[in-house]
Amino acid sequence: MGTASLTIDLPALIANWRALDAMTSCETGATVKANGYGLGAEKVARALAQAGARTFYVAMAEEGTIIRQALGPDPKICVFSGHMRGDTDMIADMQLIPMLNSVEQLTRHLEALPGHPFGVQLDTGMNRLGLEPAEWAALREIVLPQNPVLVMSHLACADEPEHPMNARQLATFHEMTDGISTPRSLAATGGILLGPEYHFDMCRPGVGLYGGAPFSDATPVAYLDLPVIQIRDVEEGETVGYSNTWTAKRMSRIATVSSGYADGLIRAMGPNASLRFGADICPIVGRISMDLITVDVTDLTEEPRALSILDDKQTVETLADAAGTIGYEILTSLGGRYSRRYVTG
């Protein structure tokens, strides 16, 4: 088979959710936006629902529809982008809970769907989504009697525990919400790790469920094996790949494997990344191309039929470091051409 195989370990995903849930004494939801961080929204959401998650978070209403169809009527599905123009029917039909983030959205929602559950997003300093403190002060006495199901905000620097922004946002969140009876939520994965004062009534982890930083104790969830299409000998002084960026310094064996930047193995990680054959490390040589990667397998004692790029030692974080990016981007870039296999319990 010429396609690479992406294996998704659902018991590992569940173990990560349980481990994060065990760190809190509040409800732990699950963020499954961007197709479950690239790993397959329906499969991921079903596994997490079986494990006990009852509230799911998505970025937009269309993603919420997919989760609703996968999970049936019971779980709560919250939409971070709120109530956008044109989404009213979807929000109503799929029983989605928009996290309203502006005066415009509050007006739209309360006029279009009076009595339909909603949450409110507050901006505590990230300046991305949510009502500013002054807007909230002016509106809260109007909004709170409409019984929002959640009041939430998002931390900008939660992956850096020492960053003073965390305490500043926590203080602002307290100022904006202390004394109200609505359930509150501030923490995603990073916020859970900051400690109990960040947990409030609901946590919304995403990346940690899928094995990414900052949850350093996460169990890896994604495994990616690339089939070897061809192996060739290259003389000292010969070059490999586009633009001749790699020259053999010795007689070398080069394996050409299937997958490239069109599959999310971004070109920027090329010269710093490696593939693995069991415990043996095989460096990428030359440019990563659209569908193919060339790998130095000179030191292997047998001919590999496949090499792995994600396994339990080399994780999305390893690849992210090689590419100068973050695990989130590696996960959500994983391509549509992989044959996907789900390990179940």
Ligand X SMILES: *Cc1c(COP(=O)(O)O)cnc(C)c1O
Active site residues: 33, 242
How far apart are CB 210 and ligand X at their closest, in Å?
8
Q: Which of 188, 266, 284, 307 binds ligand X (CB under 6 A)?
A: 188
331 touches ligand X by CB under 6 A = no
CB 314 within 8 A of CB 274: yes
109 touches ligand X by CB under 6 A = no
153 or 252, CB closer to ligand X?
A: 153
CB 285 within 8 A of CB 254: yes
**Whole-angstrom Cα distance, residue 174 to residue 164?**
16
204 or 287, CB closer to ligand X?
A: 204
Neighbours of 276 (CB within 10 A): 18
Question: Applying CB under 6 A, what is the total number of residues that bind ligand X?
Answer: 12
DSSP state of 81: T
Q: Element (H or E) spanning 9, and its range? A: strand 5-9
How far apart are CB 50 and ligand X at their closest, in Å?
20
The set of residues, in sequence order, having a beta carbon less than 8 Å from that of 134 and lying 6+ positions away, is: none
Q: Which of 40, 98, 130, 205 binds ligand X (CB under 6 A)?
A: 205
38 touches ligand X by CB under 6 A = no
How far apart are CB 331 and ligand X at their closest, in Å?
9
199 or 204, CB closer to ligand X?
A: 204
DSSP state of 220: P
Closest C-alpha to 320, from 257, 251, 247, 268:
268
The verdict on whether omega for the bond into residue 205 sits within 30 degrees of 0, i.e. cis, is no
Q: Which of 154, 199, 276, 287 binds ligand X (CB under 6 A)?
A: 154
Phi, psi of 96 (to 5 degrees): -90, 155
207 touches ligand X by CB under 6 A = yes
218 touches ligand X by CB under 6 A = no
314 touches ligand X by CB under 6 A = no
80 or 246, CB closer to ligand X?
A: 80
199 touches ligand X by CB under 6 A = no
How far apart are CB 271 and ligand X at their closest, in Å?
28
DSSP per position, 184-218: EE--SHHHHHH-GGGTTTEE---GGGGT-TT-TTP
How far apart are CB 119 and ligand X at their closest, in Å?
11
**Whole-angstrom Cα distance, residue 185 to residue 30?**
13
Q: Pick out residues in 60-99 that bind ligand X (CB under 6 A).
A: 80
Give the binding site for ligand X (CB under 6 A).
31, 33, 80, 154, 188-190, 204-208
